[in-house]
Amino acid sequence: MINYAKKSLLVALLAGIGFGATVAQAQERVYVIDQRDVVALSGFGLCWRTGYWTPAAAAKDPAGCQCDKDLLPKEVCEPAAAPAAWSEAHR
């Protein structure tokens, strides 16, 4: 009987370790992604956020500018003006 309890505990611990690895991988995305690998939208066209969402994490997520452009720093979503624009203005 003790052997069965030890084996059950070992299986439960190993399953927990596998689940922990899955959760760690999921933390990279802060928006819900559907099966087409597209950001899931609500009926109002708003992005669904995961429980890992923070403004800092949204700035690193590829969908951050699509979903929360108004919350992120301008530098994150809008590339810096090209030097050619500066040279054209000073001709």
Q: What is the pLDDT of residues 40-70, one digit of tens each?
A: 999 999 999 999 999 999 999 999 999 999 9
Domain edges within the chain: 2-89
Nearest to 34 by CA among 13, 51, 50: 50
CB 55 within 8 A of CB 47: no
Contacts of 65 (CB under 8 A, 6+ apart): 72, 76, 77
Return the residue matching tokens 């689940």.
Answer: 19
Q: What is the pLDDT of residues 2-46, one digit of tens each?
A: 676 667 665 666 566 554 544 445 457 899 999 999 999 999 999
State the chain's mean pLDDT as an integer.
Answer: 79
